[in-house]
């Protein structure tokens, strides 16, 4: 294909000026004469191609390409540009140059018409073909990932205006994408977060202080129908030349909260079953314990009757007997009250409680029915302990489970001692109280001592194997720690710690 040459010699000073302007451009750019000769190239072009205008002054630019097909494509694109056909492009793999070495460049030719007698030049602009293709591929891949992502993705600008949403976000919030793009993201928030969001963005633009970016947190989202839902939100920031974008990734936690709620109900049921199991084990002792005060009441009232029949003037002894009868009746009522409180099922309710009183009451309950076992219970409380925020019944259940296991583990004749101590503890990550329960029995069995809290393991013939597992669940839920050991002196030892309630701010 022939290319007709026009005015080929630039006026004095025009080419140096053009060359100096070209050097300010990062991409490869060359100025070509109408016959295709290389007149000037910027540094980026020389670095990428190895071309030198002085060394190639007598050769058209297409002759500088290595492959015949590339030379033909370059000549056709050059001619198309001169003829006004756009786009005039071709791709060539460069043979050398500082950064060449087989690098593919996509060249685009355009005509620069001079004013008056100024020459007509052709400008060749190069772009990294592989990089451009890779960029397009990355963009396609990113769009595919965004469209198919299971979690909602919402992209906003620095003023809170929604730029992009993916299909998962449309499903989660109940909006079509066209309904959201261009609107403020606070439409997806319930009050009072909606009213405060613009101020949060303004503060970040002014100070640059990051409070939520890069930090996942649980938020509440608002659907188109007005309903709300919990979501885990993570925010990323994208810096752009003219501003910035924020990408929000939201994971719907509705199902997770439902699972946690059902697990909580199941845990309450298991705890209730454990209490019923413990009541079954204590049932045989209840009749014996109640029989003693009731028998005493009957004896005292009979004696009072005889006194009244024999000597009506002796009122003081009679009053004393009646008082004793009343005391025994109160004792029987207290036993019934404790049993009813313990077995009653209810939702967990935490209050500030004195740990010593909680443990002492549970210990008294555990000894019901064990008077014939000759158990010596030694309680050594630390009277200076601060209160703890607990569910009283649940913590008493833990103490009861441990004490009942200790009582039932005693075998054969000999001293049977259970020691309970309370003390302050700073070894559990902060201020805490600690309860230690030790016995001098046979200790934990070899197959149990490594993990006595594993569910459904028991050394009892009729045991359920869930008491200690539930106990650890209770202590964990209170932010504490429960552990066990066979101490060097023999027997078994159980320890649990509970965090001290925070003092209110002034």
Picking from 252, 268, 289, the residue at the C-terminal end of a domain is 252
What SS3 state is found at 405?
helix
Per residue of the chain (506 residues), what is the pLDDT tens digit? Answer: 333 334 444 454 555 655 566 766 778 888 888 888 888 888 888 777 777 767 776 788 888 887 888 888 888 989 888 888 777 888 887 655 444 445 678 888 888 765 555 557 888 888 776 555 666 666 777 777 778 888 899 988 888 899 889 999 999 999 998 999 999 999 999 888 888 888 888 888 888 777 767 667 788 899 999 999 888 888 888 777 667 888 888 888 877 666 666 656 655 665 665 666 555 555 545 555 666 677 777 777 777 767 666 655 566 676 676 777 766 677 666 666 666 665 555 555 788 999 999 999 888 877 766 666 788 889 999 998 999 999 888 888 889 889 888 888 887 777 889 999 999 987 655 589 999 999 998 888 887 777 777 766 666 555 556 678 878 888 988 889 999 999 888 889 999 999 987 654 44
H/E/C letters for each residue in 149-217? CCCEEEEEECCCEEEEECHHHHHHHCCCHHHHCCCEHHHHCCCCHHHHHHHHHHHHHHHCCCCCECCCE
Domain shared by 497 and 362, yes or no: yes
Instruction: Clarify whether residues 374 and 333 are in a common domain.
Output: no
In order, the DSSP letters of 35-102 are TSBEEEE-HHHHHHH---TTTTTTSBGGGGSSSHHHHHHHHHHHHHHHTT-S--EEEEE---STT-SS
pLDDT at residue 100 in the model: 43
Q: 236 and 186 in one domain?
A: yes
**The whole model's pTM is what?**
0.39
Q: Which of 232, 252, 272 is the last residue of a domain?
A: 252
Q: Same structural domain for residues 362 and 374?
A: yes
Residue 466, in any domain of the structure: yes
The answer on 369 and 501 residing in a single domain is yes
Read off the CATH number of the domain in which 478 is found.
3.30.565.10
Together in a domain, 504 and 378: yes
Helix (H, G, I), strand (E, B) or coil at 373: helix
In this structure, is residue 139 part of a structural domain? no
What tokens were used for 290? 């109640």
Residue 49 near residue 100 (C-beta atoms within 8 A): yes
In a domain, 487, yes or no: yes
Q: Which domain holds residue 388?
A: 349-506
- Please give the angle made by the CA atoms of 369, 374 and 379, to the nearest 5 degrees: 90
Q: Which residues are 221's β-sheet partners?
A: 229
Of 213, 231, 252, the residue at which a domain comes to its end is: 252
Quote the tokens at residue 54: 């002085």
How many domains does the chain contain in total?
4
Note whether residue 4 is domain-resident: no
335 and 412: one domain?
Answer: no
pLDDT at position 69 is: 85
CA distance linking residue 340 with residue 417, whole number of Å: 28
**What does the CA dihedral 269, 270, 276, 281 come to, rounded to 10 degrees?**
180
At residue 452, the pLDDT reads 79
Residue 84: which region, alpha, beta or left (left: phi > 0; alpha: psi -120 to 50)?
Answer: left
Element (DSSP H or E) covering residue 138: helix 129-148
Domain assignment present for residue 389? The answer is yes
Q: Are 373 and 504 members of one domain?
A: yes
């Amino acid at each position: 294909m022939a290319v007709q040459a026009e005015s080929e010699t630039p006026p004095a000073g025009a080419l140096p000026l053009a060359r100096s302007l070209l050097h300010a451009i990062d991409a490869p750019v060359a100025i070509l004469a109408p016959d295709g000769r290389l007149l000037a190239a910027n540094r980026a072009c020389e670095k990428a191609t190895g071309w030198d205008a002085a060394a190639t002054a007598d050769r058209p630019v297409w002759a500088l390409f290595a492959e015949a097909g590339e030379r033909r494509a370059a000549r056709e694109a050059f001619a198309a540009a001169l003829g006004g056909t756009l786009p005039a492009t071709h791709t060539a793999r460069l043979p050398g140059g500082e950064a060449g070495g087989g690098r593919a460049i996509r060249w685009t030719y355009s005509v620069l018409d001079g004013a008056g007698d100024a020459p007509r030049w052709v400008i060749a602009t190069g772009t990294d073909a592989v990089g451009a293709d890779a960029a397009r591929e990355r963009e396609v891949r990113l769009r595919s990932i965004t469209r198919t992502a299971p979690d909602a993705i919402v992209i906003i600008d620095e003023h809170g205006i929604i730029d992009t949403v993916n299909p998962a976000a449309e499903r989660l919030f109940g909006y079509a994408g066209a309904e959201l793009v261009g609107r403020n993201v606070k439409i997806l928030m319930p009050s009072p977060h909606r009213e405060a969001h613009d101020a949060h963005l303004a503060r970040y633009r002014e100070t640059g202080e990051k409070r939520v970016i890069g930090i996942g947190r649980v938020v509440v989202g608002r659907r188109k129908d007005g309903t709300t839902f919990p979501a885990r939100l993570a925010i990323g920031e994208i810096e752009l030349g003219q501003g910035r974008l924020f990408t929000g990734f939201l994971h719907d936690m509705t199902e997770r909260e439902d699972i946690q709620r059902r697990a909580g109900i199941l845990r309450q049921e298991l705890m209730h079953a454990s209490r019923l199991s413990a009541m079954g084990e204590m049932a045989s002792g209840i009749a014996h314990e109640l029989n003693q005060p009731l028998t005493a009441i009957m004896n005292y009232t009979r004696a009072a009757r005889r006194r009244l029949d024999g000597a009506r003037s002796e009122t003081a002894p009679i009053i004393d007997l009646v008082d004793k009868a009343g005391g025994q009746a109160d004792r029987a009522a207290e036993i019934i009250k404790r049993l009813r409180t313990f077995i009653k099922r209810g939702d967990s309710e935490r209050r500030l409680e004195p740990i010593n009183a909680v443990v002492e009451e549970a210990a008294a309950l555990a000894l019901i029915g064990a008077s014939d076992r000759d158990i010596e219970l030694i309680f050594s409380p630390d009277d200076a302990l601060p209160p703890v925020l607990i569910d009283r019944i649940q913590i008493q259940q833990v103490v009861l489970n441990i004490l009942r296991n200790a009582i039932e583990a005693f075998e054969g004749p000999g001293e049977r001692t259970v020691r309970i101590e309370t003390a302050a503890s700073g070894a559990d990550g902060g201020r805490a109280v600690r309860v230690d329960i030790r016995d001098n029995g046979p200790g934990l069995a070899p197959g149990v001592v490594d993990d006595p809290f594993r569910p459904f393991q028991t050394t009892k013939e009729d045991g359920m194997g869930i008491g200690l597992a539930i106990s650890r669940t209770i202590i964990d839920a209170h932010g504490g720690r429960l552990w066990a050991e066979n101490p060097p002196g023999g027997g078994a030892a159980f320890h649990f710690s509970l965090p001290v309630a925070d003092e209110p701010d002034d």
